[in-house]
Structure 1
Amino acid sequence: MAQGSNYKVPFRRRREGKTDYAARMKLVDYDKSRLVVRLSNAHATVQVIDYAPEGDITLASAVSKQLANYGYLGGASNTSAVYLTGYLCAKRALAKGVDSAILDIGLKSAIRGSKVFAALKGAVDAGLDIPYGEAVLPDESRINGEHIANYAESLDDDEIAKLFSKYLERGLQPADLPKNFEETKKNIDEAEE
């Protein structure tokens, strides 16, 4: 009788480092929607997803690129943008009758104060009921961009032009980021009611 190899090839998405199937199965076992936060170098995507045997169903979605439609002029991947993306997604989910979810951060490490928790804070502030611990959330000054404004104030004009060229192209002085953040949040509230 011939003996074969006992080696089992992992699923393709596991080999590519895209899916942790053990963690996913734990999340899918709950009878709740998932607030899925995915970050790239350039953008953030936040979705509210329900599990179905034939495939996941996206109930609401927001991408940080969409923040420009609400007047946001800052970077699309900073902590402020991730918070606002979570806020926008939660507003859209609430409009579709979803009132609670659980956080799904995928393969990201759960580091206190990280961007994934900024998206969580945005969703909770918008009214979505998500279980979490206060200790993991980023500081309010990081969420509204005060740390960027303070850093920009310590620079001279040449350094600002070099480091914040994209902000300046969009017509935003880095010191005005907290004000632009609040205006964008207000615009989302008005548009998504």
Structure 2
Amino acid sequence: MPFVKVVKNKAYFKRFQVKYRRRREGKTDYHARRQMVLQDKTKFGSPKYRLVVRITNKDIIAQIVQAKIVGDEVLMAAYAHELPAFGIEHGLTNYAAAYATGLLLARRTLTKLGIADKFQGAKEADGSYSAVRTKKDDQGDDEERFPFKAILDVGLARTTTGARVFGVLKGAVDGGIAVPHRPNRFPGYNKEKSSLDAKVHRDRIFGKHVAEYLKQVKEEASSNPDEKCVQFSKYMSAKVAPESIEGMYKKAHAAIRADPSKSLPKKAKKEGGEHKSYKAKRMSGAEKRAAAKAKVAAIRQRLGK
């Protein structure tokens, strides 16, 4: 194809349509969003929920969101910075913390909807592939109760094998939310054999990779005591043993299932005193004239007149 010069003349700019604000900011893929939000017309206005996962430098955000004309409405949310209330004090952005955040979100959502007892999810986090099935209704044997369903929304994150967004997905599924997925992006999946190694996935869920690295760093730090250790400084100051990490996550999962509504106590607001004001006080006419005379007198004195 020959090179064609792009001419941006008056006609081009008259017909130019500005893209959506969040597209201009590079925050939203509207093609993907349109496909996720679009609801089947046979559903007659029933809401379509999304499991929205966003990972920042210091936090993991998981929300159940419904799209409305006025904007997105959040049904329930869970954050990794809430995990210290359940015993996970450090490492709030790793794969194990992502799983715990997804589990917390699932149990909170189902508790709010009143179906937490009916859909317990996986009894034990073994890392294997599982899906939430329909349950028989208590009122009759023939009727079935469908699980709460949400589709995964990862935003602009890269969906590589072993990514932490799939840790949140696995936690939500084990917590009792039906999220359509396949196991080929979980840690431990072998593409050639088309099979998932559940043991590798389980080790990630319980932070075994963190424990192994912590053990290695501790050994290096003990062999070189003069060298300052940068990694796992919070773990070491809290004297967290590598052997105790798996047990910490097990206790956290049990605590989340026992009471998902628990959160960190709110910090008491400091009673502030008088704030310093940087606004200059308005001068009266007499004050302005006196200030001008003082300036003139200072200049004359400096010049020796």
Q: Same-fold call, TM > 0.5? A: yes
SS in 1 for 2:11: coil
Q: Residue 122 of structure 1 aligns with which residue?
A: 171
Q: Residue 21 of structure 1 aligns with which residue?
A: 30
SS in 1 for 2:180: coil
Looking at structure 2, the residues matched to 60 and 101 of structure 1 have their Cα atoms a distance apart, in angstroms, of 12
Matched, 1:169 2:237: yes
Matched, 1:87 2:103: yes
Kept in 2: contact 1:74–1:177 (CA 8 A):
no
> Amino acid of the residue matched to residue 211 of structure 2?
A
> Amino acid of the residue matched to residue 36 of structure 1?
V
Looking at structure 2, the residues matched to 174 and 163 of structure 1 have their Cα atoms a distance apart, in angstroms, of 14
Instruction: Give how far 1:61 is off.
Output: 0.2
What are the within-5 Å matches in structure 2 for residues 80-159 of structure 1? 80-97=96-113, 99-138=148-187, 139-155=201-217, 156=219, 158=221
* RMSD of aligned alpha carbons: 2.0
Matched, 1:38 2:47: no
> Amino acid of the residue matched to residue 114 of structure 1?
A
Instruction: Give how far 1:15 is off.
Output: 1.7
Point out the more displaced range, 172-181 or 18-27: 172-181
Point out the more displaced range, 80-89 or 145-154: 145-154
Kept in 2: contact 1:35–1:49 (CA 8 A):
yes
Greater RCO structure (CA 8 Å; 6+ sep): 1
Point out the more displaced range, 22-31 or 81-90: 22-31
Matched, 1:3 2:11: yes
Structure 2, unaligned stretches of length 5 or more?
A: 1-9, 40-46, 114-146, 188-200, 223-227, 262-305
- Find 2:68's aligned residue among 48, 52, 62: 52
> Amino acid of the residue matched to residue 111 of structure 2?
A
Instruction: Give how far 1:172 is off.
Output: 2.4
Instruction: Give how far 1:100 is off.
Output: 1.2
Looking at structure 2, the residues matched to 171 and 11 of structure 1 have their Cα atoms a distance apart, in angstroms, of 50
| Identical-residue share of aligned pairs (%) | 36
Q: Residue 61 of structure 1 aligns with which residue?
A: 77
SS in 2 for 1:103: strand
Kept in 2: contact 1:73–1:180 (CA 8 A):
no
Q: Which has the higher helix share?
A: 1
Per-residue CA deviations over 1:101-142 (Å, capped at 9, x if unaligned) read 110001111111100000000000001011100111232211
Per-residue CA deviations over 1:147-182 (Å, capped at 9, x if unaligned) read 111222234162695421112334523442211111
Structure 1, unaligned stretches of length 5 or more?
A: none
SS in 1 for 2:68: coil
> Amino acid of the residue matched to residue 40 of structure 1?
T
Q: CA 1:158/1:32 → structure 2, altered by over 3 Å: closer, same or farther?
A: same
Kept in 2: contact 1:167–1:174 (CA 8 A):
no
SS in 2 for 1:13: helix
The aligned length equals 192
Looking at structure 2, the residues matched to 48 and 154 of structure 1 have their Cα atoms a distance apart, in angstroms, of 38
- What's the TM-score once normalised by structure 2's chain length? 0.59
> Amino acid of the residue matched to residue 92 of structure 1?
R
